[in-house]
Structure 1
Amino acid sequence: MAVTFDLFGTLIEAPKPADPARAIAVELDARGVETPEGWTEAYRTPHVDAPDGAEVPLPAHVAAALRSLGVEPPANTVRRAVVAAFDPDVHTREGAVEAVRAARDCGPVGILSNCSVPELVSRSLIRSAFSREEFDAVVSSVGCGWRKPHPKAFEAIASRLDRPVSELVHVGDSLEADGGIEACGGQAIVLVDGTAMAEVPALLEAGNG
C-alpha cells in the first residue's frame, strides 16, 4: 500500500490570483513585455491543441496567446512572469500534518497535484508546514504531462513510488479528479460530503488493517 495526496485544497490552501490574466500582465510589464489590447480575451482562449487529459503548461499557453496578438517575448521571460504571478501565499490545512504522518505508517507517501504552473508545487511545499523529505515522490501535472483523473497521472506517481496503481490510496478534495483513481483500480478518500481531514488517519488505518 502507498498513499498519495492532492496538494492544493487538500494539504494546503494557496489562493490563485483573482484575475490571472491581469496578474500575468503586470509581471510581463515588469519584465518589459507590454500586453496589447485584447490580451484578456486572448488569455481566456485556448491556443494549444492537446489530447484530452493532457496538461498544457501555463507559460506555453501564455506565449501562444501573446503570439496570437503579434507579440513574441523570450520564453524564459514568459515563464518567469507566470511563476511570479502565481507566487503562493500558503496556509497548511488543519489536520494535514497528522494525516501525512499517519500515511507514513502505511507505506510510501507521495503528492499528485494538478498544476499548470512550473515550480508552483515546490514553492508551495517550501512555504508549508511540510518538508520535501516527508514525501517519497512529488508529481505535478505540469511535470508528468497529464491531469487527474487521466490514468497516466496516477500511473506516473505509482511508478515513482514503485507500486502498482491498484495499491494506491489517493486523498483529495475532488470527486472527479481525485476520485478518478478508482477507475484505475486504486482507492480514493475524497474530502467532500462531510469527510474531514481529521478522519484520514483512521480511514488509512482501517484500510491497512
Structure 2
Amino acid sequence: MAVSFDLFGTLVAADRPADPAAAVADELRARDVPVPDDWGDAYREPQIDAPPGAEVPLPAHVSAALRSRGVAAPNNAARRAVVAAFDPTVETRPGAVGAVRAAREHGVVALLSNCAVPELVGRTLIRSEVARDDFDAVVTSVGCGWRKPDRRAFESCVDALETDLSTLVHVGDDPATDGGADDAGAVFLDVADVSLTDFPEWLEARA
C-alpha cells in the first residue's frame, strides 16, 4: 500500500498573509523594486497562459505582473520577495506524526501538496513535528507542474514512489482538490471522515 498526505490543512496549519498582494508588495519594496500604483490589480490579473491543471509558480506570476506595468525585478528579487512574504508560522495537527508513522509501517509514503511558493513546503516541514525524512517522496505542484485535482499531480506522486495509482490512498482535507484522487484511480480519505488520530486504526483494518 502507498499513502500520500496533503500538507496544508491536513498535517499542519500554516498562516498565510491576509492580503498576499500587499505582503508581496512590502517585500518587493524592501528589495528596492518599485511597486506599481495599481499593484493589486496587476497581482490579481492572470499573467501567464498555462494549460488547465498546471501550476504557475508565484515568483513567475509576480515577475510577469511587474513586467506588465513596465517594472523589472533584477537579482531574483521577485522570488526572494515571494518566499519572504509567505514565510510561515506552523502548527502541527493532532495525530499527524502518528498517522505518518502508521503509514510507513504499511508501505511507501509521500507528501503531495498544492503549493505555488518555492521553498514553502520545505520551510513548513522544518518547523513542524513531521519531518522530511518521514516521507519517501515530497511532491509539490510547483515542483511537478500540476495541481490537484489534476490526475497528473497524483501520477507524479506515484511515479516518485515507484508504484501505481491503484495502490494509493491519499489523505487530505479538501474534496475539491484532494478528492481528485478518486477520479485518478486512487482512494481519497477525507480527514473530516477519518481523523489523523483515527487513521492508524483505519489503516490497520484496511491492510
TM-score (norm 1): 0.96
State the one-letter code of the partner of 1:61: H
State the one-letter code of the partner of 1:8: F
Aligned residue number for residue 9 of structure 2? 9
Aligned residue number for residue 197 of structure 2? 198
TM-score (norm 2): 0.97
Aligned residue number for residue 58 of structure 1? 58
SS in structure 2 of the partner of residue 16 of structure 1: coil
Q: Structure 2: any 5+ residue segments left out of the alignment?
A: none
Aligned residue number for residue 143 of structure 1? 143
Aligned residue number for residue 19 of structure 2? 19
SS in structure 2 of the partner of residue 143 of structure 1: helix
How far 1:195 sits from its partner (Å)? Answer: 3.5
- Give per-residue Cα distances to partners, 1:85-109, cap 9 Å, x unaligned: 0001011001111111111111011
Task: Indicate the RMSD between aligned Cα atoms, in angstroms.
Answer: 1.0
How far 1:57 sits from its partner (Å)? Answer: 0.3
> Is the 1:182–1:188 contact (alpha carbons within 8 Å) kept by the matching residues of 2?
yes
Percentage of identical aligned residues:
59
Aligned residue number for residue 132 of structure 1? 132
Aligned residue number for residue 86 of structure 2? 86
SS in structure 2 of the partner of residue 198 of structure 1: coil
State the one-letter code of the partner of 2:124: S
- Give per-residue Cα distances to partners, 1:101-133, cap 9 Å, x unaligned: 111111011100000000100110011012211
- Give per-residue Cα distances to partners, 1:26-50, cap 9 Å, x unaligned: 1101101020110011101111101
Distance (Å, rounded) in 1 between the aligned partners of 2:171 and 2:26:
35
- Give per-residue Cα distances to partners, 1:125-184, cap 9 Å, x unaligned: 011012211110000000000000111100101011111011000000011211111111
Figure out how many residues of one structure are paired with residues of the other and give that number.
Answer: 207
How far 1:188 sits from its partner (Å)? Answer: 1.1
1:123 paired with 2:94, answer no
Map 1:10-49 to 2 at 5 A: 10-49=10-49
Distance (Å, rounded) in 1 between the aligned partners of 2:158 and 2:171:
14
SS in structure 1 of the partner of residue 63 of structure 2: helix
State the one-letter code of the partner of 1:141: S
SS in structure 2 of the partner of residue 26 of structure 1: helix
